A and B are shown apart, each in its own frame.
Chain A
Amino acid sequence: MSESEMVFSFLTKLNALTGGLFLLCAFGLVGIRQMLTCLRIYVFQALLLAVSAVILGYYHASIHLFVVAALTIVTKVFIIPWVLRQAVGYESYAKREISQVLNIPTSLLISIAITIFAYYIAGPLLAANGAGAFEKVNLPIGMASLLIGAYTVTVRGEAVPQLLGILAMENGAFFAGISIASNLPLIAELAAAFYVLITVLVIGLLAMRIHTVIAKTAVGEMMALREE
């Protein structure tokens, strides 16, 4: 085996490991009730996204992906957790356990079904578009994380966990994105990082407003507006 082949095989394995951990984080966000732990898992997931971007960036010799990795670390590992603590306040998420409409074992089983479904839709795409080793890992795992995030938002009735679900969805989309659309212009990547920040800021502030007006953040219990 030549040296470049060895590097390639090493990078593929490293990326597969990152992908596996990434998916595990998505499951963790479904399966863990403590809010602070959920936030930590989210940060770790973002870190894995950055690791995968660095691996791909090294392989493709693409400066864009390094920028993505740097932006991810700055925004999602440092700024977002800080903003969440500021906006929502320690007491409203640190101690609390999250209530969930469906219990955790059922949720984990549904997440497994979602993952299989993600592989099922990603399969034909990978075959049709001549995918390489990295796409084969990143696309289905990104999709699975996206859909599991959507599931989390639906079953959790609290403001911060819903926001974390949305952010996990975004992580999933970006995880797929770094492998399949690594050549987006830089401005789009900067705008995307900015967009994620604005999302957290807006939804965080809104959660704080809700907290001050109706003295709780159980958004799932807000039922004034509906059809009779």
Chain B
Amino acid sequence: MELLYILIISLLAAALSLLPVGKRFAPGVTILGSLAVFLLSLRTALATAAGGEITAIADYLACDSFSALILLLVAFVGLTAAIFSWGYIATTVGETDDRKIRRYYSRFNLFLLSMLAVPIFSQLALVWIAVEMTTLLSVFLVSFESTPQALEAAWKYAVLTCMGASLALIGILLLRWGMGPSPNVAFTWAGLLAASPQMPPALLYTAFLFILIGFGTKAGLVPMHTWLPDAHSQAPSPICAILSGIETTAVLYCIMRLLPMFQGGAAADIGKWFIIFGLISAGVASFLLIQAKDYKRLFAFSTVEHMGIIMVAAGLGGYAAHFGAMMQIVSHTVTKSLCFFAAGATLMATGTRNIGAIRGLIRISPLAGTFLMVGGLGIAGAPPFAVFLSEFSILKAGIMNGQYLVIGLLAFFIAVAFFGIMLQINRMVFGRPEIILMDESALQFARSTAPKHYILPLACIIALLATVIPVILFGVYLPEQLYQLLHQAAASLGRV
């Protein structure tokens, strides 16, 4: 029943945060709610780590190891983002606008609810609706700051992902058609897997392509990625952490779930699609990173690159590569949310998103500077952080498979992205402290060479610390239960 409670708790939190009682009530309820959701998700994940499924409502709500992994990650990012929001929103919105704060938390909880529903639902039609709800419920979070840029980003986000949605819908309906006319078959992930050997290959293939393009739009695969850097840079930082850290991955999860339906030659064909889309995404994003002028945009491009890496790992096939993909999902999620929290802290300390405008961040705000450096190193894939280990295991698995060309290209793109990210972050973090702000009214640049020392709100520090722990820990040590969960999830991607 945990699964049902998880959904009910976030719905309740969304409703309660609208109540106009005190300034601390809405953030408090949100943090408590997401903490409860996190603990329940942890319980679910531990229960599925040994294999098997947890079912709340047969054919509708169920979790196996792969979905429990995604659920746990959503709950983790949700919890840390809720804590970060406490400090961030109070600072950026200002204590005066109570209604705006309540609206933010209510939308935050609804968005989290839709995100949690993606792995929990097992009925495919409902999964599709949950995925689309994640878009619709986050549109107003993206446009939260109501600047023309934020509205533009929200518009692109809504329109492009809704277009993708319709394409994915036809793919899903085609799958239902392939399962035969009987109304009694369960249209779930498991039911689909069981029915797939009897389905005509042409139908499976076409349905897969529709879903790949449709959901790929939302996962930010090149060339359907154009909305992603906009939306992921314009939203408030805690929302960026959820959008970039886990929303993209949760959609990728829906695509990866289709993998085990294909056998033999068909599996190799499908793998090629994964690898082609993955390599194009990683390649294009790693070169776009270099010219990014906005550090949140920089991290958004890095998300596209990492989605590409996960796609390649899933497409390589074989247990080792699938295990690498699962590890990459975990390490990317924790590291990317750290990056966006650090970016949020930097924004609070300096008031600008422009990379060129910031020098010597580590002297302006030692904490923001340190975390930004750790996040940058972590996401670029430097040892001993988690992403290094997962990228290394993917490259190793690929070499064992004999895919030298694919791995060579992937390694090259990762190296380009590494230098792209580190060059920019280095410039910002070190050097003489300096902030260049543009004066909007006079259209002049104001250079402040001795910026005020900035102290981060306590809630933000707690969120940053909570996120940095797994980033460092998973680089050197995987807890046994997590290893089991990853193992089960990776095994479920291959045909039993």
Q: Which residues of A contact B (CB under 8 A)?
A: 121, 124-125, 128-129, 135, 142-143, 146, 149-150, 153, 159, 162-163, 166, 169-170, 172-173, 176-177, 180-181, 183-185, 187-188, 191-192, 195, 198-199, 202-203, 205-207, 209-210, 213-214, 219, 222, 224-225, 227-228
For the complex formed, measure the closest distance between the CB of B372 and the CB atoms of chain A, giving whole angstroms: 22
- Interface residue B149 (Cβ < 8 Å from any Cβ of A): yes
For the complex formed, measure the closest distance between the CB of A84 and the CB atoms of chain B, giving whole angstroms: 15
Q: With A181-B177, A188-B125, A225-B153 as known contacts, state yes or no: A206 contacts B167, CB within 8 Å.
A: no
Report yes or no: B203 in contact with A183, Cβ–Cβ below 8 A: no
Report yes or no: A214 in contact with B151, Cβ–Cβ below 8 A: yes
For the complex, what is the distance from the CA of A209 to the CA of B152, rounded to whole Å? 11
Q: With A146-B166, A202-B136, A209-B146 as known contacts, state yes or no: A153 contacts B159, CB within 8 Å.
A: yes
Q: Which of A125, A150, A225 contacts B174 (CB 8 A)?
A: A125
Which of B21-29, B179-187, B337-345 is the contact stretch? Answer: B179-187
Report yes or no: A176 in contact with B170, Cβ–Cβ below 8 A: yes
- Interface residue B366 (Cβ < 8 Å from any Cβ of A): no
Q: Which of A129, A162, A192 contacts B125 (CB 8 A)?
A: A192
Residues in B neighbouring A219, C-beta threshold 8 A: 152, 155, 159
Which of B85-93, B126-134, B420-428, B451-459 is the contact stretch? Answer: B126-134
For the complex, what is the distance from the CA of A69 to the CA of B186, rounded to whole Å? 24
Q: With A180-B176, A184-B125 as known contacts, state yes or no: A227 contacts B155, CB within 8 Å.
A: no
Residues in B neighbouring A170, C-beta threshold 8 A: 166, 169
Residues in B neighbouring A149, C-beta threshold 8 A: 166
Most B Cβ at <10 Å: residue of A162, A181, A228 = A181
Known: A125-B202, A146-B170, A225-B234. 7 other contacts (CB 8 A): A121-B206, A128-B203, A129-B177, A192-B125, A192-B129, A206-B139, A206-B158
For the complex, what is the distance from the CA of A198 to the CA of B156, rounded to whole Å? 17
For the complex, what is the distance from the CA of A166 to the CA of B166, rounded to whole Å? 8
Residues in B neighbouring A163, C-beta threshold 8 A: 159
For the complex, what is the distance from the CA of A71 to the CA of B414, rounded to whole Å? 50
For the complex, what is the distance from the CA of A192 to the CA of B143, rounded to whole Å? 25
For the complex formed, measure the closest distance between the CB of A92 and the CB atoms of chain B, giving whole angstroms: 15
For the complex, what is the distance from the CA of A159 to the CA of B152, rounded to whole Å? 11
For the complex, would chain B's binding face be called helix, strand, loop or mixed by DSSP majority? helix
Report yes or no: B125 in contact with A185, Cβ–Cβ below 8 A: yes
Most A Cβ at <10 Å: residue of B143, B177, B182 = B177
Report yes or no: B206 in contact with A150, Cβ–Cβ below 8 A: no
For the complex formed, measure the closest distance between the CB of B133 and the CB atoms of chain A, giving whole angstroms: 7
Report yes or no: B162 in contact with A210, Cβ–Cβ below 8 A: no
Report yes or no: B202 in contact with A183, Cβ–Cβ below 8 A: no
A-B contact pairs, 26 of them (CB 8 A): A125-B202, A135-B177, A142-B170, A146-B170, A149-B166, A166-B159, A170-B166, A172-B166, A173-B166, A173-B170, A176-B170, A177-B169, A180-B173, A183-B176, A185-B125, A185-B187, A187-B60, A199-B132, A199-B162, A202-B136, A206-B140, A209-B143, A209-B146, A213-B146, A225-B156, A225-B230
Q: Mark B161-197, 1 if CB is under 8 A from A, else 0.
A: 0110011011001101110011100010000000000
- Interface residue B48 (Cβ < 8 Å from any Cβ of A): no
- Interface residue B264 (Cβ < 8 Å from any Cβ of A): no
For the complex, what is the distance from the CA of A206 to the CA of B182, rounded to whole Å? 41
- Interface residue B148 (Cβ < 8 Å from any Cβ of A): yes
Most A Cβ at <10 Å: residue of B132, B155, B167 = B155
Residue of B nearest to A62 (CB): B183
- Interface residue B479 (Cβ < 8 Å from any Cβ of A): no
For the complex formed, measure the closest distance between the CB of B381 and the CB atoms of chain A, giving whole angstroms: 23
For the complex formed, measure the closest distance between the CB of B150 and the CB atoms of chain A, giving whole angstroms: 9
For the complex formed, measure the closest distance between the CB of B278 and the CB atoms of chain A, giving whole angstroms: 21
